[in-house]
């Protein structure tokens, strides 16, 4: 519960506050008017982008995307809750990852179900050398990506520790 209160909840709030600020201060891109705040020239901008799809804009604009990703979000939250209760997140790294996943999933889920919204607000726009504009993202997306990285790291660390334990038993 402390991971939810001290990590998931504040990050969810930060996600919603930043998206709310973007919606209140940037024109709706569907109206053909765009605003860009150039924070670091040729590297980082703040923009307003609507995404009804998923990462990298996949399925963006599909009329069923919000239903699909809402269902996926609810399913993922349910699975995380069940796994948490079964002790599937035994250490700080995996518990942190689960808490980040909860914050990210709830943040984007909330965008999809808000009245008058029906899209995820993305606003962090990076321009990468040799790539160009990286797809815009938000705090919730960042939480999900960091959680994925932590889970991958944990899998490798856990496998390494298990191999050491097995080697010690054999030797």
Give, to the nearest 10 degrees, the angle between helix 65-85 and helix 92-113.
150
| Residue in 15, 111, 125, 141 annotated catalytic | 141
Question: Is 91 designated active site?
Answer: no
Q: Which of 28-37, 50-59, 96-105, 111-120 has the highest mean pLDDT?
A: 96-105
125-136: average pLDDT: 92
For the chain, the domains span 2-53+61-170
| Residue in 15, 111, 122, 125 annotated catalytic | 122
Question: Is 15 designated active site?
Answer: no
Q: Give the sheet arrangement for strand 120-128, strand by strand.
A: 37-40, 44-51, 120-128, 132-133
pLDDT at 97: 97
98-114: average pLDDT: 95
What is this structure's pTM? Answer: 0.89
Q: Write the pLDDT tens digit of every residue in 2-33.
A: 989 999 999 999 999 999 999 999 999 999 99
């Amino acid at each position: 519960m402390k991971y939810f209160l001290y990590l998931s909840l504040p990050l969810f709030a930060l996600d919603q506050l930043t998206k709310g600020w973007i919606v209140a201060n940037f024109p709706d891109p569907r109206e053909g008017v765009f605003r860009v705040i150039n924070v670091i020239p040729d590297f980082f901008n703040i923009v307003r982008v609507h995404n009804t799809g998923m990462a990298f804009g996949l399925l963006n604009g599909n009329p069923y995307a919000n239903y699909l990703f809402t269902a996926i979000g609810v399913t993922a939250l349910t699975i995380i809750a069940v796994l948490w209760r079964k002790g599937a997140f035994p250490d700080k790294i995996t518990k942190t990852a689960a808490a980040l996943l909860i914050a990210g999933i709830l943040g984007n889920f909330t965008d999809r179900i808000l009245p008058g919204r029906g899209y995820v607000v993305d606003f962090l726009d990076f321009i990468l050398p040799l790539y160009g504009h990286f797809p815009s993202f938000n705090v919730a997306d960042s939480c999900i990506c960091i959680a994925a990285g932590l889970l991958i790291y944990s899998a490798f660390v856990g496998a390494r520790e298990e191999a050491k334990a097995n080697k010690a038993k054999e030797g």
